[in-house]
Amino acid sequence: GQNIDQPTEMTATEGAIVQINCTYQTSGFNGLFWYQQHAGEAPTFLSYNVLDGLEEKGRFSSFLSRSKGYSYLLLKELQMKDSASYLCAVMDSNYQLIWGAGTKLIIKP
Amino acid sequence: GAVVSQHPSRVICKSGTSVKIECRSLDFQATTMFWYRQFPKKSLMLMATSNEGSKATYEQGVEKDKFLINHASLTLSTLTVTSAHPEDSSFYICSARETGDTEAFFGQGTRLTVV
C-alpha cells in the first residue's frame, strides 16, 4: 500500500528552527510537495522536490532523499504566523497526490 | 502562481437539498481537476479526479450519485452534493492542474454545513 508518515504535532519557540520529517512508501515517485495549511483555509504551496538534495526558499528549506523515502521541511527564524499544519504529499506514478495526515506546528513566544 | 477560484466559500443548506460548488481556473487551462474533502484536524481525502470532457474517476467509497462532478470546460469544474445530509458537512477543496505540470493549484475551499 501507499503510506506517508509525518509527526502529528510539534511545538517550537518563536525565533527558533524546526524540522518536520516525512517518510513515504508509494507506487512510483514523481516528486514530493510540502504545503502549509492554516485552520479553515485551503493548503498553500511551499516547495517541490523531485531530485535529491536541499531546496532553499527564504526561511523555508526542503530536503529529499529518494533512496531513503525521506524528506524534511526546515523552518528557520520561526514566527507566530508559522503556526499551521504542514502537509507532505507525494506524487505517485499515476501523477496522483498521496497525502500525509499533516503535522500541526505550534509556535510559542 | 496560477489562480484557482472556488465558490462559494461558505454555504449552509437544509437537509435534503442539493448544493453546487464551482471551481474555476482563472489564468490557465485546467485539464485535470481534483476534488478533496477534509474533516476537522484531518488530512485531505481525495474524492475524485476529473479530466476535461470525460467522466470523473471516483475514489473507493465515494458515492458518484451523491457527489456529482462535471468538468465540461478547461476552466470550470463543479461538484454537486445531492440530497445533502448533516454528515456531508465538511470542508471541500478543489485543485487544478495543467497538462504537463506537476503542481496543482488549490481553490480557497468551501465550508458546507447541512442543517
Question: Are the Cβ atoms of B44 and A100 closer than 8 angstroms?
Answer: no
- If pLDDT is split at 50, 70 and 90, which confidence band does B31 have? confident
Supply the pLDDT for residue B76. Answer: 93
> Which of B43, B50, B98 would you mutate first to test chain A, the one with the most A CBs within 10 A?
B43
Neighboring chain A residues of B37 at a CB cutoff of 8 Å: none
Task: For chain B, positions 33-52, list CB contacts with chain A under 8 A.
Answer: 34, 41-44, 46, 49
DSSP SS3 for B8:
coil
Question: Are the Cβ atoms of B107 and A42 closer than 8 angstroms?
Answer: yes
Q: Is the pLDDT of residue B7 over 80?
A: yes
Question: Are the Cβ atoms of A42 and B102 closer than 8 angstroms?
Answer: no
Supply the pLDDT for residue A98. Answer: 87
Matching residue, cell 445530509 = B85
Neighboring chain A residues of B109 at a CB cutoff of 8 Å: 40-42
The partner residue sitting opposite A42, judged by closest CB among B41, B46, B109, is B109
- Per-residue pLDDT tens listing for chain A (109 residues): 788 999 999 999 999 999 999 999 998 998 999 999 988 788 888 999 999 999 999 999 999 999 999 999 999 999 999 999 999 999 888 777 888 989 999 999 9
Closest residue by Cα to residue A29 from A99, A93, A97? A93
DSSP SS3 for A60:
strand
Q: Is the pLDDT of residue B1 over 70?
A: no
B33 CA to centre of own chain: 8
CA distance B54 to chain A (A): 17
Average pLDDT over all residues of chain B: 90
Closest residue by Cα to residue A4 from A20, A29, A26? A26
**CA count, 13 A, side-chain hemisphere, A67:** 2
- If pLDDT is split at 50, 70 and 90, which confidence band does B48 have? very high
DSSP state, A96? -
Mean pLDDT throughout B25-50?
88
Residue A63 CA to residue A57 CA, distance in Å, equals 11
pLDDT tens for B65-111 read 999 999 888 899 999 999 999 999 999 999 998 877 767 788 989 99
Q: Which residue of A has its CA nearest to B112?
A: A40
Residue B10 CA to residue A10 CA, distance in Å, equals 30
